[in-house]
Amino acid sequence: MIERNRRANRRTFGKLLLLVAFMFGFGYALVPFYRAFCNLTGINRVGDKSSLALVRNTQVDESRAITIEFDANARGAFRFEPLQRSMTVHPGQIAQVLYQVSNRTDHAVRLQAIPSYAPAEAASHFKKIECFCFTQQSLQPNESRQMPVVFVVDPKLPKGIPAITLSYTSFELGATSTDAATDQRENDDG
């Protein structure tokens, strides 16, 4: 009885090993079959570098060029400016501009930037993907930082708008939480 169970277990084990070997071989053979199928049908041309030249962003309207002008205004003891004054983009093209802010004080500051657009009707067509204006910025004494704005102009921008001005007004929000804690400790001690 025990011997019969051992033989049955060996046969089952041998069948399982054959099944594992077959599954491994089948998985290994799928790669060339997949490539052959893709070449035959013309879809998903894996590794075909000639097809890369055909890939492009079809949402970019290359028949139009929009001039984007950048402006900055600071309300406080800090310096705030774009690193370039203008650029030309095609509607649908993703672009980036950098603004620089410098804290010229001997204490930490918190800043918030508010955007505005001219002409006003361009605001709904100017889409910011990444912007320092989404969050408050904290700067240490005498710290400078470059901050990006990644944007795209909607291809649905009316044809009569050849230029857009993006203007930021940045203002100081008051003492940072660390400054407030220091001030509170000094008041408690004194």
Q: What residues in the chain have per-residue pLDDT under 50?
A: 46, 51-55, 176-190
pLDDT score at 44: 64
pLDDT of residue 37: 76
pTM reported for the whole predicted model: 0.61
Type of residue at 113: A
Structure confidence by residue, pLDDT tens digits, 154-181: 999 999 999 999 999 998 886 544 444 4
Q: What's the confidence (pLDDT) of residue 61?
A: 85
Query: In the chain, what are the domain boundaries?
Result: 1-55, 66-175
CATH 2.60.370.10 fits 66-175, yes or no: yes
pLDDT at 128: 92
Q: What pLDDT, in 10s, does the model give residues 120-142?
A: 999 999 999 999 888 898 999 99
DSSP secondary structure string for all residues of 150-190: EEEE-TTS-TT--EEEEEEEEEEEE--HHHHHHHHHHHHH-
Instruction: Say what the pLDDT of residue 75 is.
Output: 84
